[in-house]
Chains A and B, each alone.
Chain A
């Protein structure tokens, strides 16, 4: 069992999960008829991309990029810190994603108010 690389299995699991989330979300956006389902698909795509970024920044046996001891000079004696840049980017992306979802859902409410339906195949007129 020693010759199986643990990192390889972890990579298949995490990258596979993120690619799977992106594809599932894309399927929902393209195939579903209900507008709320489409917004759910968008947020699933978001989740997949966030997981992909964090997974690329991960370093095995690394610690989170927060210095804990007082006066510690730097990362010492073989301990590694994971890459902080993708984490900062994902932090921004989650907050912006919430804003996008909220605006999209308020547009759904507005469309429902006019057409009395939220299914795009039942919205006949383009004008509103």
Chain B
């Protein structure tokens, strides 16, 4: 019982710490990995709280698939959160034309 108590408390504190890190981190790839770690800790907590089905679902979907779709999105967009867009008028209109051609 003591072991259960200590491990649940440690996991709860870790959960909050990793969540704060995921929100505060400017590099989105690190934030995404932190989101995966939230799912990992949550999966262990579900197992400790006698919910093995939910733990298995969270392990398969939360850790692997959600993380990978975030990574794919970051590959196709920008990586830094504080990225400043440098726009010049001519370039912007060229981009617009290209997008319209693709639609």
Which A residues fall within an 8 A CB radius of B?
6, 9-10, 13-14, 16-17, 20-21, 24-25, 27-28, 32-34, 36-37, 39-41, 43-44, 47, 50-51, 54-55, 57-58, 62-64, 66, 82, 87, 90-91, 94-95, 98, 101-102, 105, 108-109, 112-114, 116-119, 122
Contact = CB atoms under 8 A, between A and B. Distances in A.
A98 B65 contact: yes
Given A17-B12, A63-B50, A118 B57 contact: no
Nearest to A61: B1
6 contacts: A13-B12, A21-B16, A82-B51, A108-B77, A114-B99, A117-B83
B9 to A, nearest CB: 5
Contacts of A21: 15-16, 19, 38
Contacts of B58: 50, 94
B1 A6 contact: yes
Interface residues of B, number: 47
Contacts of B61: 94-95, 98
Given A37-B28, A109-B77, A112-B77, A13 B69 contact: no
B19 A37 contact: no
B60 to A, nearest CB: 9
B78 interface: yes
Contact of A62 (B50, B65, B85): B50
A101 B66 contact: yes
Nearest to B9: A13
Interface of B: prevailing SS = helix
Interface of B: 1, 5, 8-9, 12-13, 15-16, 19-20, 22-23, 28, 31-32, 35, 38-39, 42, 45-46, 49-54, 57-58, 61-62, 65-66, 69-70, 72-74, 76-78, 81, 83, 85, 87, 95, 99
Nearest to A112: B77
Given A21-B16, A91-B57, A101-B69, A44 B76 contact: no
